Amino acid sequence: MKVLAICGSFRKESNTNKLVKKIAEYSGCDFELVYLSELEIKPCTGCSECIMNEGECVIDDDMQSLYPKLIEADALLIASPIYWFTVR
């Protein structure tokens, strides 16, 4: 099974990242970890070009490299730190 783990913490040795690494270690799956803090992902502008462009986003950022990984993954693990009892 191929698992894509997306870590949303800005700190490399945060508890969030440590937990994801432990899950990867014990899962026995083909695990790929992606750190959002290392990527430049721009927000959606609502231009609707993806609708006209067969689902292709026109924003040229690091999200383009994530799309194939998301499609190929059998499972997705999204990990985000919680500050003040909410996700930022």
Render pLDDT for 9-50 as a digit per residue (tens, 0 to 9): 888 889 999 999 999 888 889 999 999 999 999 999 999 998
Judging by beta carbons within 10 Å of its beta carbon (0-12, 13-18, 19+), is residue 5 exposed, middle or buried?
A: buried
Could you state, in order of their start, the residue ranges of all structural domains in the chain?
2-79
Q: How high does pLDDT run on average in the chain?
A: 90
pTM assigned to the model: 0.81
